[in-house]
Structure 1
Amino acid sequence: MNQNTGKTVLILGANSDVAKQCIKQYLEKGFSVVAASRDTTSLQKLIGENHLDPSKITILYFDAVDFDSHQKFYDELPVKPHIVVYAAGFLVDNEKALRNFKGAQQMMMVNYMGAVSILNIIAMDESNKNLERIIGLSSLSGVRGRKSNFVYGSTKAAFTTYLAGLRQELASRKIKVNALVIGYIRTKINEGLQLNESLIMEPDYVAKYIVNAGNSFTIVPNFKWKMIYMILKILPESLVAKLP
Structure 2
Amino acid sequence: MQRKTVLLLGANSDVAKAAILRYAAKGHQVIAASRSTDALYALVDQHPSFKDRVTVLYFDAADFDSHAGFYEQLPQKPHIVVYAAGYLRNNEEALLDFPGSFRMMQVHYAGAVSILNIIAMDRENARLERIVGLSSLSGVRGRKSNFIYGSTKSAFTQYLAGLRQYLFGRRITVNVIVAGYIRSKMTAGLDLPESLMLEPDFIAKAVVEAGNGFVIVPGFKWKIIYTALKWMPERLVAKLP
- 1:202 matched to 2:199: yes
Alignment size in residue pairs: 241
Quote the Cα distance in structure 2 between the aligned partners of 1:235 and 1:52.
Answer: 48
Deviations 1:159-181, CA, capped at 9 Å, x for gaps: 00000000000000000000000
Amino acid at match of 2:173: K
Residue 27 of structure 2: SS of its match in structure 1? coil
Give distance in 1, aligned partners of 2:223 and 2:176: 14
Q: Deviations over 1:102-154 (max 9, x none)?
A: 11000000000000000000001011001000000000000000000000000
Question: Is 1:114 paired with 2:108?
Answer: no
The equivalent position to 1:100 in structure 2, one of 91, 97, 118, is 97
For the pair 1:153 / 2:153, whether they are aligned, the reply is no
Q: Which ranges in structure 2 are unaligned for 5 or more consecutive residues?
A: none
Structure 1 residue 185, shift from structure 2 partner: 0.4
TM-score by length of 2: 0.99
How far did 1:213 drift? 0.1
Give the distance between the partners of 2:88 and 2:55, measured in 1 at CA: 27
Offset of 1:28 from its aligned partner? 1.1
Paired residue for 1:175?
Answer: 172
> Structure 1 residue 54: deviation in Å?
1.5
1:30 to partner: Cα distance = 1.3
Q: Does 1:32 align with 2:29?
A: yes
TM-score by length of 1: 0.98
Match of 1:49 in 2: 46
Aligned to 2:188: 191
C-alpha separation in 1, matches of 2:4 and 2:63: 27
Which residue identity does 1:127 align to in structure 2? Answer: E
Query: What is the DSSP-based 3-state SS (H/G/I as helix, E as strand, rest coil) of the residue aligned with 1:84?
Result: strand
* Equivalent position of 2:217 in the other structure: 220
Q: CA deviation at 1:55?
A: 1.3
Runs (5+) with no aligned partner, structure 1: none
- Take 2:82 and 2:228, find their aligned partners in 1: how far apart are those partners? 27
1:186 alignment partner AA: R
Q: Distance in 1 between matches of 2:98 and 2:49?
A: 41
The percent of aligned pairs where both chains have the same amino acid is 64
Q: Distance in 2 between matches of 1:203 and 1:52?
A: 21
**Pairwise CA RMSD of aligned residues?**
0.7
2:156 partner amino acid: F
